[in-house]
Structure 1
Amino acid sequence: MKKASSRTRVVTGGAIVAALALGGFGAYSASATGEDTAAAPTAATAKADAKNKNTTRSTHLTIETASKAARATLDAAEKENQRVSVAVVDRNGNTIVTLRGDGAGPQSYESAERKAFTAVSWNAPTSVLAGRLANAPTLKDIPGTLFLAGGAPVTAKGAPIAGIGVAGAPSGDLDEKFAQAGVAALGR
């Protein structure tokens, strides 16, 4: 193998050093620019965001508030010696908290979640929705729903923000009564 001349080695080494230095500087500059933009939006950006009509904000229960509602629901059931499960879901139907009372049946956990999902999806108590099945029997085919009494929506400014579902009592009327106790606890 032929050795490169010292001049070739110097030029090649210099080119490599220059490329590394420029590459490092470019990466640093891009990183610094990205951090500055994300950390401190300009006043123009803030005004544009405030006037943007293509986005919306939604209200959600905190974990503490959802837990308070679930506990109040379970307490109401326990006062009447009922063994139930309680689920609180957010506006999107995602479970925030679920409590399975002592002695609640194995089916009650999933049923409570599905009732809560159904109540928030239609912003109506599930007992009312169950009555609508006579006119629209295919509603029951929607995944994740359960059209039995025991689900109650939670609203803020008229819009649904959560659902509370209860399952396990001997009747849907009792399940819904306990769910309503959870909704009422949020107003205290």
Structure 2
Amino acid sequence: MSLTLRTRRSRVLAGGTLVAALGTAGVLGTVSANAESPRSRPAASAAPAADASGRDTTTTTHLTTAAAIRAAQAALDAAHRAHQNVSVAVVDRDGRTLVTLRGDGAGPQSYESAVKKAYTAVSWNAPTSALVKRLDSAPTLKDIPGTLFLAGGAPVTAKGAPVAAVGVAGAPSGDQDEMFAKAGVAALGR
């Protein structure tokens, strides 16, 4: 009886291996067939290209890299004039980091804090100092990954919509961090 059971298992395993091998060969054949050069394929009538209508798409505005660098440098310069050692981050509308600058003597925690402050500001299109006040009524906001509810982040808007944010960390107070972040935002208006 155990001999029969082993034989069935062997058949099932062998059958499964065969199916897997055939599946792999089919995929390889498909990849090989699709790897042909366009010249070797016969001309066929092309399917019409799908074109989404205007009501099915949106257009967004993004901050350029040059503008992000200008904003970060302006924030760092404002901190330097105030004799503060800070880190500055500029993120895009999606919260992705565009540029970071770590000033001479800035603390190791300031780099990540600046990025998180900028991310928080762009996520809610509000200065992080205003968002700190929201924690009284919604304390779980601070649990959202990647956010930091401390003053020092300022949003950048274009055409009424958030397009980026500047975050600063490392000064003795969040109010100073935010003042430097706002200097970075102001540099974009020139």
Q: Into which bin does the TM-score normalised by the smaller protein fall?
A: 0.7 to 0.9
Query: Which of 153, 156, 165 in structure 2 is aligned with 1:154?
Result: 156
1:2-31 deviation digits (Å, cap 9, x = unpaired):
xxxxxxxxxxxxxxxxxxxxx988843469
- Provide the rounded CA distance (Å) in 2 between the counterparts of 1:93 and 1:71: 19
TM alignment of 1:19-168, pairs within 5 A: 27-29=40-42, 49=52, 51-168=53-170
Q: CA deviation at 1:52?
A: 2.5
Report the Cα offset of residue 57 of structure 1: 1.2
2:4 matched residue in structure 1 = none
Query: TM-score, normalization: structure 2?
Result: 0.75
Question: Normalising to structure 1: TM-score of the pair?
Answer: 0.76
- Cross-structure match for 2:7: none
Unaligned 5+ segments in structure 1 are 1-22
Determine the C-alpha separation between the residues in 2 that align with 1:89 and 1:152: 11
Partner of 1:13: none
- Based on CA coordinates, which of the two structures has the bigger radius of gyration? 1
Structure 1 vs Structure 2 CA RMSD: 2.4
Q: Compared with structure 1, are the counterparts of its residues 58 and 29 closer, same or farther at alpha carbon in structure 2 (3 Å cutoff)? A: farther
Unaligned runs of 5+ in 2: 1-35
Residue 158 of structure 1 and its aligned partner are, at CA, apart by: 1.0
SS of the residue 2:41 aligns to: helix
Residue 28 of structure 1 aligns with an amino acid whose one-letter code is R
How many aligned positions are there? 155
Distance of aligned partners of 1:178 and 1:29 in 2 relative to their CA distance in 1, 3 Å threshold: farther
Q: Share of identical aligned residues, percent?
A: 67
Report the AA paired with residue 103 of structure 1: G
Instruction: State the match for 2:180 in structure 1.
Output: 178
2-side partners of 1:86 and 1:148: how far apart? 14
